[in-house]
Structure 1
């Protein structure tokens, strides 16, 4: 489990792209699980956690599209 003391989307995405499956902990968001390079949305969570997961997944998807075009 990697711990991030601040919410830094670019560093988090880099970690997820390397490991693909696992768990990270982000201060103020808590524990986030990811599988196959995407974050798993928990059934019960705070709105800010849901927003962060949606943001991270969309950023990863846009990076995938950019790398496919290059």
Structure 2
């Protein structure tokens, strides 16, 4: 599990694209798990965690679309 002392979306996405399955820990959000290159929404989560997961998955999808065009 990698620890991120700050919320850094680009670094987190890079980590997820490399490892595909696992977990990361972000200082203000806590533990975020990912499978198959996508962040998984915890069953019980605060609104800021849900917003972060949606944002990160949107950024991953955008990068995937750019890779298909290249």
**Deviation for aligned residue 1:43:** 1.1
- Deviating beyond 3 angstroms after TM superposition, the runs of 4 or more aligned structure 1 residues are none
**Deviation for aligned residue 1:29:** 0.1
Q: Which sections of structure 1, spanning at least 5 residues, go unmatched?
A: none
TM-score, structure 2 length as denominator? Answer: 0.99
Structure 2 counterpart SS, 1:62: helix
CA RMSD of aligned residues (A): 0.3
Q: Which residue in 2 is equivalent to 1:19?
A: 19
Tell me how many residue pairs correspond in the alignment: 70
Structure 2 counterpart SS, 1:11: helix
Q: Which sections of structure 2, spanning at least 5 residues, go unmatched?
A: none
Q: Which residue in 2 is equivalent to 1:48?
A: 48
TM-score, structure 1 length as denominator? Answer: 0.99
